[in-house]
Amino acid sequence: MDHQATTRVYVVSDSAGETGEAVVRAAAMQFYPAHVDIVRAPFIHDSEGIDKVLGTASAHGGIVVFTLVIPKLRDELIRKAKALRIPYIDLLGPIVSSLGQALQQEPRRQPGMIHPLDEEYFKKVEAVEFAVKYDDGRDFSGIQKADIVLLGVSRTSKTPLSMYLAHKRLKVANVPLVPEMQPPSAIYSIPKEKIIGLRIDPDKLNVIRQERLRTLGLAENATYANVERIKIELEFADKIMSKIGCVIFDVSNRAVEETASLILDHIEHVERG
């Protein structure tokens, strides 16, 4: 086998061409270390654009891969590629056709429809990065920037809730409540509707903390899991949350998804006014 083999693939699209390029790169990995030279030809909207790409492909060789959703352009490219004996692959055509038959619906034939999905994806990534940065009081400056601020003692699911809500594109900061440390003053200056208090049964929390200590290889009778200590923490947390006047959800016997659903319902209710 010639490990230095190279072929050129022209990715033709009536949008940015990112989908076509991603598919070609994924396929090319199956032939490593052979080299595939990808040339993207984005925003092709007319015959002139098609002629230019096919002219280059004809002169220098290679394959044309396209994601054209406008039938007229797609048919023109296929007709001209055949005439010039240029190998071509229609990435979207067969899938769109099959989905149309299954759904008994005509496709929109609108270029660039992947971009709203991209935008949603990047919002999700941004929210996840936000949750990581402002997790467990690492940086209290996030309180002012957050869509939601979670308050609660240790092991009330603040971090998993933050990550779950981040995947719903919400920027979440969470603040641990500890009697030895007053919470940041910022929690009293933002709208209370943005703050969610998390409450838990002391016996339930005791079990959770003992399990946590066991996982870490520490003694289960440590202060962290002491029932009296837990009650002091919960009383302190209740005072803070009452002072703020925020909504409080009991997480004692709820899965993260259930609590998150309550929070999302609360947000929707607040937005509706």
153 annotated ligand-binding residue: yes
CB 50 within 8 A of CB 77: yes
Residue 213 tokens read as 């200590």
Q: Is 12 exposed, middle or buried (0-12, 13-18, 19+ CB in 10 A)?
A: buried
Residue 144 tokens read as 């002012």
SS3 41: strand
155 annotated ligand-binding residue: yes
If you search the block for the tokens 């429809």, which residue do you land on? 113
> Beta 63-67 vs 6-13: how paired, if at all?
parallel
Kindly state the DSSP code that residue 151 receives in the 8-state scheme.
E
Kindly state the DSSP code that residue 194 receives in the 8-state scheme.
G
> How far apart (Å, rounded) are the C-alpha atoms in residues 68 and 80?
14
154 annotated ligand-binding residue: yes
CB 109 within 8 A of CB 69: yes
How big is the chain, counted in residues?
A: 273
> How far apart (Å, rounded) are the C-alpha atoms in residues 236 and 230?
10
Closest CA relative to residue 11, chosen from 59, 77, 75: 77
158 annotated ligand-binding residue: yes
Closest CA relative to residue 114, chosen from 70, 76, 67: 67
Which positions make up the binding site? 152-159
Which positions make up the binding site for ADP? 152-159
